[in-house]
Amino acid sequence: MSLVVDDLRAYYRTLAGDVRAVDGLSFTLADGEIMGLAGESGCGKSTLAKALIRLDTRMRYIGGHVVLDGVELPIWDDALMNERRFRDVSIVPQYAMSAMTPTRKIGRMIRELLESRGVDGHALEPELLRRLELVGLDPGVLSLYPIELSGGMKQRVVMVISTLLDPSLLIADEITSALDVSTQKAVAETLVEFRDRGFVKSVIVITHDLSILAQIADSILVMYAGKLVEKASTAEIVEEPLHPYSRLLISSLPEVGVRYDEHKLAGIPGRPPQLLDPPSGCRFRDRCPLATERCAKDPPFVRAGDDGRFVACWEAAC
Amino acid sequence: MRRYFLRKIVVYTVTFIVAVTVDWAIPHLMPGNPVLTLMGRIQIQDPQTAQNMYHHYMRAFNLDLPLWKQYWYFWVSLFHGDLGTSIVQFPAPVSSIIVHAVPYTLGLLIPATLLSWYAGNKVGALAARRKVLDNSALPVSYALTATPYMWLAIILVFVFAVTLGWFPVGFAYDPTAVRGFTWSFVSNLAYHWFLPFLSLFLVAFGGWAIGMRNMIIYELESDYAHYLEALGAPQKLVRKYAFRNAVLPQVTGLALALGAILAGALATEIVFSYPGLGYQIYRAITNEDYFVIQGIFLFIIIGILVANFIVDVVYLVIDPRTRVGMEGGRT
Amino acid sequence: MTTAPVAGPADSAQSSVPETASQLTTTQETLYFALRNRKLVIGSAIVIALLAFAIVGPFIARHGPLDYTGHLSWAPTTRSGHWFGTTLLGQDVFAQFATGLRLAFLVGVVGGGIAATIAMLIGFTAGYRGGALDEFLNMITNIVLVIPTFALLLVIAAYLQVRSVMVEAILIGITSWPWAARAVRAQTFSLVSRDFVDMARLSGRSQMQIIFTEIAPNMSSYLFMMFILLFGGAVLIAATLDFIGLGPSGTISLGMMMQLSVQNAALQLHLWWWFLPPGIAIATLVGSLYVMNVGLDEVFNPKLREM
């Protein structure tokens, strides 16, 4: 197992109390697996990404374990964690457009970054050039300033930088959200290529766009209100979702090639619960068509299907 | 890049024209006739002589010509370097008064501005990351920047010159000293220069320190800082980049603050009777020597425009974004 | 003396913190933080105290500010009510100080107010309309920005035969707005592209309405902070103008007190009660305003709050 997350809990401190953004998340990721992390805004997926690499001052690590390649990630300790960043765990951030400092040429920035991490930039240069070429960038890009690149180019540069040290775990946080459709496809395919060539071992792709996941992800983990709702292979989630939330999510997507004459696109009525004081039992019950009394009392524990599926629902068929 | 310069030059040219026009126009908009004021001071008894003098001065100052011609001559004389004649220090030309005063003003202004900018930035950056320094340097900086320039000068004079006697009370050099490039004269100059310089330096320093500290804090919250931290870069590297980016608005700020620091320099000179432009302006105002005031105003305008232009060039060099284009380039 | 903003940019923080079920409304929450912010509380307290002094002072003074009492160069004493002593010419320093403080507030409010108004007018228009109008207003802003305010005021004021505080304040107001206009414009830009403005447009509201009901309220904290800085700047500029000899005729201001004291060799004569109070007053007033500003920034900008 490449990555094992066990009962991870991370809250945000606010004046009114703790917002339980990630509240007991457990899953595993195999070597070479691209897992999509899907869910509505505010479900905790970005929090998870941040928790795995860098807690910021507003977040508090509450409990749980994260084990990468058999070694525990000390995510509660900034200094200890720093050793693992970039080398073992890396991130392609949401803000790739502005992720590079505007007053340094890109090549120089990369070199200084590597040096500060104790990596010989000179030795790595041929590999860097090779990878730039792989993503379709001219090596001359290194002597440009970030402002001289287009959005898509910046995205690709950041992807190359983030994976330069061949991390075991790569977190891709909404990397396609700010791009047009054709660039989205290119970026998504680049991600797969990186995995195929062994530049990264496992990838967590965070997005609210299920269609991207359907293209590139091996498995999908659906989150809702800070909790895991379902995790299964992509094919299973798309064709045969078990959890009522996943089902509603999938069915709210329009299908290509189908004509919608008198068919209304179904959204999911209602809003996610406030995470300051989450409801007891299952957090989806207020919007769930299958909710029963039991759902209000006991939080559904994650039920593993015999094929490695996880579903957190009392009513889902196994 | 061309757009950048073009814009700046247009603004400066228009500003110059506006300023010169305002400078020429104001005396004509104000009630009163400077020649009459001048004559009132001379107090001529004989009415016939008074008449002759009046006409003489009106001609000498071009006040007998139609307005547009006066305006035109104003520009012409400006380009000949003729800024008029002082009424009080007649017949000294304004330009010579300015030329003799400028070295003293620049001698205060340039070192004080540059050193306070440099020191303020350094201290501000340090304060942004060390809580202890922040808690001490910041209130001091606020106190300094809120202090009127001339008042700090007054305090320094009172404490260090009058009471403690460590420094001279005023003037650029000892009236009894022999002028020349001798060590004793130069050190005498420096001795008299120090307190006014210090006064200017301290107040300006406060402003820069606060500005830089805030800019650094802002930059440390930027996306590139977060990205570097996510990739495990040490704080040293992040701070280095933050500083580099924070300096940019400080350079722009330099151009903006020039006017304020100049005003401070003028006021400081008055306290120290330091023979720069400020001192001359003070004399001119007290004695209603209008042409001197007008001339110094024009000179200040030119000086500020030139300084602004220099800062613009420097900014062009240090900010790659201006070289590529204002909206960002595409390759 | 700063006429450009001292504080850093107030960025519109778009937090990625999930929505909180705050039991407090926004206004209540703001007030809560406001009252707990030491800088804001102390700063405002000092400003209010000075204001109170300015209002009450001239009434409790035993002499008029320009009266020649015949008591020359007295040190502060309780005799004849010369609590702040007298000047070389026999004028009561306390009365002068109180009057000067009043004028300082007047200049600050009027000068700062006018500058703020112009800045808002120009900034909102440029930011909202954009295009050619924006370019034009930008050019005007740049021109007024480059012209050294002080030199301009110098020339204008020098020619006035009779000077009044109001005229001084107005002059300061119409020359010190450029940096504020730029700031308003930048903020307006960032707000204009937000959805709620589009909504307002779609619902048929006029531009003026949109500016006043949608954009301005969202910037109200920023505008208020801007006004405070303009207020402080006006006080400093006025003091310097007065010091150079361009102060209002027929009355006395803090800057004029400093000028007269220097002119009359108060420094050499150790008449510290004459030249210290005016400077302390200005430094305290402006300093407190700046501190208030920092406090306000912390209150309105959640990112800066200490948890």
Q: Where do the domains of chain A lie, and which CATH numbers do they carry?
A: 3-233 (3.40.50.300), 279-318 (no CATH)
- Residue C17 pLDDT grade (very low, low, confident, very high; cuts 50, 70, 90): very low
**Which of chain B's residues have a Cβ under 8 Å away from the Cβ of A112?**
237
pLDDT 10s digits, A273-292: 777 777 777 777 777 777 77
Token pair listed for C255: 């800057």
CB B245 within 8 A of CB A102: yes
- Residue B35 pLDDT grade (very low, low, confident, very high; cuts 50, 70, 90): low
Indicate if the pLDDT at residue B28 is higher than 80.
no
Smallest Cβ–Cβ distance between A277 and the set C16, C19, C21 belongs to C21
Cα-Cα-Cα-Cα dihedral of C235, C237, C242, C244, to 10°? 160
- Nearest residue of A to residue B247 by CA position? A103
- Whole-number percent of chain B with pLDDT over 70: 89
With CA atoms as reference, report the closest residue to C189 among C116, C144, C228, C138.
Answer: C138
Least confident of A51-55, B259-263, C7-11, C298-302: C7-11
Q: Is A17 left (phi over 0), alpha (psi -120 to 50) or beta?
A: left
pLDDT score of B31: 62
pLDDT 10s digits, B166-191: 888 888 888 777 777 888 888 888 88
pLDDT 10s digits, C168-220: 999 999 999 999 999 899 888 888 777 777 777 777 777 777 777 777 777 88
Higher pLDDT, B198 or A150: B198
pLDDT score of B242: 94
- Nearest residue of C to residue A271 by CA position? C19
CB contact under 8 A, B14 and C6: no
CB contact under 8 A, A19 and C18: yes
- Asked if B19 has any chain C CB less than 8 Å from its own CB, the reply is yes
The mean predicted confidence, pLDDT, of chain B is 85
CB C289 within 8 A of CB C47: yes
Q: B105-127 burial, b for 16+ CB within 10 Å, e for fewer?
A: bebbbeebbeebbeebbebbbbb
Token pair listed for B89: 């220090």
- Rounded Cα distance, C75 and A37, in Å: 78
CB contact under 8 A, B230 and A54: yes
Pairing label, strands A59-68, A3-14: antiparallel
pLDDT score of C290: 93
φ, ψ of residue A71 to 5 degrees: the values are -115, 135
Q: Chain B: nearest CA to A226, how far in angstroms? A: 22
Token pair listed for B24: 């020429």
- Residue A265 pLDDT grade (very low, low, confident, very high; cuts 50, 70, 90): low
Q: Mean pLDDT over residues A131-160, rounded?
A: 91
pLDDT score of B326: 45
CB contact under 8 A, C18 and A16: no
CB contact under 8 A, A46 and C21: no
With CA atoms as reference, report the closest residue to B81 among B303, B295, B329.
Answer: B295
The mean predicted confidence, pLDDT, of chain C is 84
Q: Could you tell me the end-to-end alpha-carbon distance of chain C, in angstroms, rounded to an integer?
A: 34
* Residue A5: strand pairing partners: A27, A66
CB contact under 8 A, C279 and B301: no
Residues of B with CB under 8 A from a CB of A: 222-224, 226-234, 236-237, 241, 244-245, 248, 318-321, 324, 328-331
With CA atoms as reference, report the closest residue to A222 among A40, A30, A51, A37.
Answer: A37
Q: Which residue do the tokens 């005799």 mark?
A: C79
**Which of chain B's residues have a Cβ under 8 Å away from the Cβ of A90?**
230-231
pLDDT score of C15: 39
With CA atoms as reference, report the closest residue to C88 among C269, C246, C239.
Answer: C269
The mean predicted confidence, pLDDT, of chain A is 85
* Residue A223: strand pairing partners: A228
**Which of chain B's residues have a Cβ under 8 Å away from the Cβ of A174?**
none
Indicate if the pLDDT at residue C166 is higher than 70.
yes
- Nearest residue of A to residue B245 by CA position? A103
Strands (DSSP E) along chain B, which ranges?
none
- Rounded Cα distance, A144 and A128, in Å: 15
- Nearest residue of B to residue C271 by CA position? B158
pLDDT 10s digits, C212-251: 777 777 788 889 999 999 999 999 999 999 998 888 988 9
Q: How many residues does chain B have?
A: 331
Pairing label, strands A89-92, A59-68: unpaired
Smallest Cβ–Cβ distance between B232 and the set A102, A117, A153 belongs to A117
Smallest Cβ–Cβ distance between B148 and the set C139, C145, C239 belongs to C239
Q: Is A169 left (phi over 0), alpha (psi -120 to 50) or beta?
A: beta
Least confident of A250-254, B12-16, C228-232: A250-254
Indicate if the pLDDT at residue C131 is higher than 80.
yes
φ, ψ of residue A311 to 5 degrees: the values are -135, 135
- Residue B41 pLDDT grade (very low, low, confident, very high; cuts 50, 70, 90): low
CB A20 within 8 A of CB A278: yes
pLDDT score of A178: 75
Q: Chain A: nearest CA to C303, how far in angstroms? A: 10
Higher pLDDT, B240 or A261: B240
pLDDT score of A129: 94
Pairing label, strands A169-173, A89-92: parallel
- Residue C274 pLDDT grade (very low, low, confident, very high; cuts 50, 70, 90): very high
Q: Mean pLDDT over residues C92-101, rounded?
A: 93
Kindly list the distances between the CA atom of residue C104 and the CA atoms of C57, C65, C110, C122, C166, in Å, as whole numbers in the listed order: 13, 15, 10, 26, 11
Identify residue A62 by its one-letter amino acid code.
I
Q: Which helix (H) or strand (E) holds A59?
A: strand A59-68
- Rounded Cα distance, B164 and B161, in Å: 6
Q: Chain C: nearest CA to B309, how far in angstroms? A: 10
| Full set of structural domains in chain C with CATH | 91-304 (1.10.3720.10)
CB pairs under 8 A between A and B: 85
CB contact under 8 A, A13 and C307: yes
Identify residue B265 by its one-letter amino acid code.
A
Least confident of A40-49, B136-145, B239-248, C273-282: A40-49
- Residue B61 pLDDT grade (very low, low, confident, very high; cuts 50, 70, 90): low
Higher pLDDT, A250 or A263: A250
- Rounded Cα distance, C83 and B116, in Å: 38
- Asked if C34 has any chain A CB less than 8 Å from its own CB, the reply is no
With CA atoms as reference, report the closest residue to C230 among C179, C284, C292, C299.
Answer: C179
Radius of gyration of chain B (CA): 25
Least confident of A10-14, B217-221, C46-50, C100-104: A10-14
pLDDT 10s digits, A183-196: 888 889 999 999 99
- Rounded Cα distance, B209 and B121, in Å: 5
Identify residue A188 by its one-letter amino acid code.
A
Q: Mean pLDDT over residues C260-266, rounded?
A: 91
Pairing label, strands A202-206, A169-173: parallel
Q: Mean pLDDT over residues C65-91, rounded?
A: 86
Count CB-CB contacts under 10 A for residue C179. 22
Indicate if the pLDDT at residue B204 is higher than 80.
yes
Higher pLDDT, B33 or B154: B154
CB contact under 8 A, B305 and C146: yes
Identify residue B108 by its one-letter amino acid code.
L
- Nearest residue of C to residue A19 by CA position? C20
Smallest Cβ–Cβ distance between A12 and the set C17, C24, C29 belongs to C17
